[in-house]
Every structure is written in structure tokens, then in C-alpha cells.
Amino acid sequence: MRDDQIVYPAGPVDEARRQLEICNACRYCEGYCDVFPALTRLTEIDNAAVTRLAGVCHNCRGCYYACQYTPPHEFELNLPAALAEVRQEGWERHARPQLLARAFHRSGLALAAALVVGLAAMFAALAALRPESGEGFYAYLSHAAMVAIFLPAFLLPLGVIGLGLRGYWREIGGGRLAWADVVRASRRAASMRNLDGGQGQGCNFEKGERYSNARRHAHQATMWGFLMCFAATSVATLMHYGLGMEAPYGPFSPPKLLGVPGGILLCIGTAGLMALKLRADPGLGASGVLSGEFGFTALLFTVSATGLALYAATGTAAVPALLALHLGAVLAFFLLMPYSKMVHGFYRFAALLADRR
């Protein structure tokens, strides 16, 4: 897709380009993160380059506090906010349908809460129609019913995300990939090196001019916790269908050994991210999306917390209510994936893949 075939909003991309051109002339922040070395390799700062660089930026804000051209200077540079606006606009533009993405990002907390309550009520009704036989959670909702509900609820949103990523990849000029590109981008994503200020001392997200690694640690706890929970579900699926070992599983089984620590990490990470967001300067991020960001993080926290509570309550009278709440939260999370900040992980990874060096 040629750059002249894409319709960009006049504001975010043009303003980010103006600021990036000044940054490219100054180059004081060249060692801060991957944005600035990538900027120096460009022969032209076109719309595709601005969109790609916005995806590489992790909003650590170190460049803002180091910059001599921030307000009240006449250049009025605020690169973290400018790139955040481009990222936000890009995620919404590639979502299908776009209207739903905009609605969630602007009032995400209310929408997430409404969906959790509604879906939990639905699962409570299903639990009232419990099967005649079954063990563990399947005594309240059969395995077949869970598969019938959750498999399409997981795969269809992934398909929607895939469509958006295809357009985004063509827009930023990603091109063909080599295995080395995937390995390099995976290492950068796993280490979250763009959250350490480029020099290992941390970023300036929540403490202004003081460095901190708290956000990096919270992100890593969230990421690894989520991956461990996903691995637990994948292992359980393999054990059920491939090895004929049906749930419930014991405390020292692979699903529990992965899922319980993963849930704990996910709770810690999401709670930390919400606390840090409250302490951060809202003027250095995208405007008008705080509710959506909190909605996504709160929903992910709810998924992990209710899962742990459900495991702790095994064999008690609290299981039906906790099962309904947990499954309702999981289903809401799946359905909202294409329209929540969950997509930022996919788009950032695509930007890192395209940033070959």
C-alpha cells in the first residue's frame, strides 16, 4: 500500500512529523530508545515512518525531560504525547468496526464493567442449568458448553486483530521478514529495553525527572503472567484432547504450576500499572483515553483475581458465583481484545519487526 493511498487525519501525524524533524536536527536524545536511532536512518520522514516510529515508542518520557525545546520554548515539543496520539489514532483506524474501538477507548471502564456484569449474569443463569454429571467446574457448566462459547469468542477477535495488523503492516512498509528479524524483535519485546531509558537506569513515566524501573517491572509481570496463564490453558487443552487426562487437575499438575504463579504475576503487574498511571502526567500521553486504559487493565486484573479466588474456593459454596464472574470476565476480555489496549502489544511488536537494523 502506497503512502498516498492512505487517508491520515491532518492533526496527529502532521504534528508528530513536525516534532520528529526538529528531533532529527538536534539528535541530543539519540541514545534514549529505539525511536531516535531509527529516526536517524530515515531519508524522509513520511507518514508511514511517523506511524512506525510511534509504534516503537513506549512512552517512557525520558526524551521530554531531557529536551531543551519543551514548553515554554517556541518549538513546544512534547514528543511522547505526539507519538501517543499517532498510536492511538492508528489502533482505532485499523479496528473493525472503528466506532466500537473509539467508544471503548473513551469510556472503557464503564463498558468493561457493564460487560462483566452482563456476562457474569449470563453465566450465572447457565450455571443454574447445571449438567447431570461432571467434576470440578464441569459440575456447573459442561466442558462442551465452555468450548462452544469460548472457542469462537477467542478465535473471531483474533481474526479481527489479524485484519487490522495486515493493514498496519502494509501501511508501515513492513515487507518480507527473515527469521533473524523475528528473533531480534522478540528479544527487544521480552526485555522491554525501550522502558529503561536506553541506558538501563529506568524511565521517567511516573516520577518526572527522576528515573524508575517500576513501570518496566509492572509490564514484565503483566506480560509473563499473561503468557504463563495462556500456557496453562494450552497445556490443559493438550492434556485433555491429546492425552485423555480430563480436568480437574491437581495442585502439582502443569496447568496449576503455570496458572497459579501466572495469575499472581498478572494481579501484581496490572495493579502496579494502574497505580503508576494515576501518578503519571496525563499531558504526556494520548488525550481522552484514560478511561479505556483503566478499563482494559482493570478487566485483566479481574480475570486473574477471580481465577485465583475460584481456585482457592474449590469445594466450597462460593464456586458457582465465582465461576460465573470469572468466566464472564474472561469472555468480556476476549470479545473486547480488538478494541482495547490489548492490541497495543500486537502493533508494537509489528513496529519492532519493521524496525530492521
Determine the pLDDT at residue 2. 46
Lowest-pLDDT choice from 51-55, 57-61, 147-151, 270-274: 147-151
Calpha distance 313→264 (Å, rounded): 16
Q: Looking at the structure, do residues 186 and 253 belong to the same domain, yes or no?
A: yes
Whether 26 shows a pLDDT value over 50: the answer reads yes
Whether 249 shows a pLDDT value over 70: the answer reads yes
Calpha distance 235→232 (Å, rounded): 5
Determine the pLDDT at residue 198. 63
Determine the pLDDT at residue 197. 65
Determine the pLDDT at residue 355. 83
Determine the pLDDT at residue 114. 76
Amino acid (1-letter code) at residue 264: I
Q: Looking at the structure, do residues 26 and 160 belong to the same domain, yes or no?
A: no
Where a domain ends, among 93, 118, 144?
Answer: 93
Tally of domains in the chain? 2
Calpha distance 2→173 (Å, rounded): 9
Please write the tens of the pLDDT for every residue from 71-113: 999 999 999 999 999 999 988 889 888 888 888 887 877 777 7
What is the SS3 string spanning the chain? CCHHHCCCCHHHHHHHHHHHHHHHHHCCCCCCCCHHHHHHCCCCCCHHHHHHHHHHCCCCCHHHHHCCCCCCCCCCCCHHHHHHHHHHHHHHHHCCCHHHHHHHHHCHHHHHHHHHHHHHHHHHHHHHCCCCCCCHHHHCCCHHHHHHHHHHHHHHHHHHHHHHHHHHHHHCCCCCCCHHHHHHHHHHHHHCHHHCCCCCCCECCCCCCCCECHHHHHHHHHHHHHHHHHHHHHHHHHHHHCCCCCCCCCCCCHHHHHHHHHHHHHHHHHHHHHHHHHHCCHHHCCCCCHHHHHHHHHHHHHHHHHHHHHHHCCCCCCHHHHHHHHHHHHHHHHHHHHHCCCHHHHHHHHHHHHCCC
User: For residue 136, what are the CA distances in angstroms to 118, 126, 247, 344?
Assistant: 24, 16, 7, 35
Which domain covers residue 326, as residue numbers? 96-354
Q: Looking at the structure, do residues 237 and 249 belong to the same domain, yes or no?
A: yes
Q: Looking at the structure, do residues 101 and 20 belong to the same domain, yes or no?
A: no
Average pLDDT over residues 256-269: 96
CATH code of residue 204: 1.20.950
- Percent above pLDDT 70 for the chain: 94
165's grid cell: 495488523
Whether 10 shows a pLDDT value over 60: the answer reads no
Q: Looking at the structure, do residues 148 and 119 belong to the same domain, yes or no?
A: yes
Q: Looking at the structure, do residues 209 and 118 belong to the same domain, yes or no?
A: yes
**pLDDT-derived band of residue 4, with 50, 70 and 90 as boundaries?**
very low
Whether 61 shows a pLDDT value over 50: the answer reads yes
Q: Does residue 312 contact residue 73 with C-beta atoms inside 8 Å? A: no
Q: Looking at the structure, do residues 155 and 116 belong to the same domain, yes or no?
A: yes
Which has the higher per-residue pLDDT, 158 or 113? 158
Average pLDDT over residues 142-168: 89
Average pLDDT over residues 209-223: 91
Q: Looking at the structure, do residues 196 and 334 belong to the same domain, yes or no?
A: yes
Q: Looking at the structure, do residues 89 and 108 belong to the same domain, yes or no?
A: no
Whether 295 shows a pLDDT value over 90: the answer reads no
Where a domain ends, among 93, 112, 141?
Answer: 93
Calpha distance 183→161 (Å, rounded): 22
Q: Residue 46 — φ and ψ, nearest 5°?
A: -90, 180
Q: Looking at the structure, do residues 263 and 237 belong to the same domain, yes or no?
A: yes
Whether 69 shows a pLDDT value over 90: the answer reads yes
Amino acid (1-letter code) at residue 152: P
Lowest-pLDDT choice from 65-79, 129-143, 178-192: 129-143
Q: Looking at the structure, do residues 164 and 214 belong to the same domain, yes or no?
A: yes
Q: Looking at the structure, do residues 42 and 157 belong to the same domain, yes or no?
A: no
Please write the tens of the pLDDT for every residue from 307-341: 999 989 988 888 888 888 888 888 888 988 898 88
**pLDDT-derived band of residue 150, with 50, 70 and 90 as boundaries?**
confident
Please write the tens of the pLDDT for every residue from 184-203: 889 888 888 788 766 667 88
Where a domain ends, among 93, 117, 146?
Answer: 93
